[in-house]
Structure 1
């Protein structure tokens, strides 16, 4: 149950962070306005809170593992929202990152 909760929190954090950055991009680069930017700032703030809900108490471990989730999530966001077509190297890189997430977060440890 702890692993499932952790995975769901990683997905929620990715949606908040990637979505927030995308909203700011849209507001600034695509000239959609300050409301888009403000929404992005709120989403990025929410990301920080969601990350703090992870069951592991180690900030560095959580953020290191989340980096891999961010890489894969960014490619997925691009595919769904912007119709980006990743090549095989993008996919291989994302898989490597997700394997890193699994090792960092869920490998058995002998100490608390």
Structure 2
């Protein structure tokens, strides 16, 4: 028969085995909790497939048409590349300088 006192004094039995149980058991427990989270998200986002297809097609066509109209209305002939202020520069002062330069050129 095992000597119970010797087993209780053994550091591996006293600290190692509970630690291993905590680590291994914790990973299985966390897996279950995270799986519940992802299942709930999947369930919440689920739409009727026909409705989802209609929404996707409508989104794409609207986005393309809007972008086309914006590009069509943009005047690209008079476009100028203007540098923004550096972090150490005062933005209002820099804007005034840019405006005065632009007024002098016009």
Question: Which category of TM-score, normalised to the shorter sequence, fits these structures?
Answer: under 0.3
TM-score w.r.t. structure 1 length?
0.24
Which structure carries more relative contact order (alpha carbon 8 Å, separation 6+)? Answer: 1
Larger Cα-atom Rg: 2
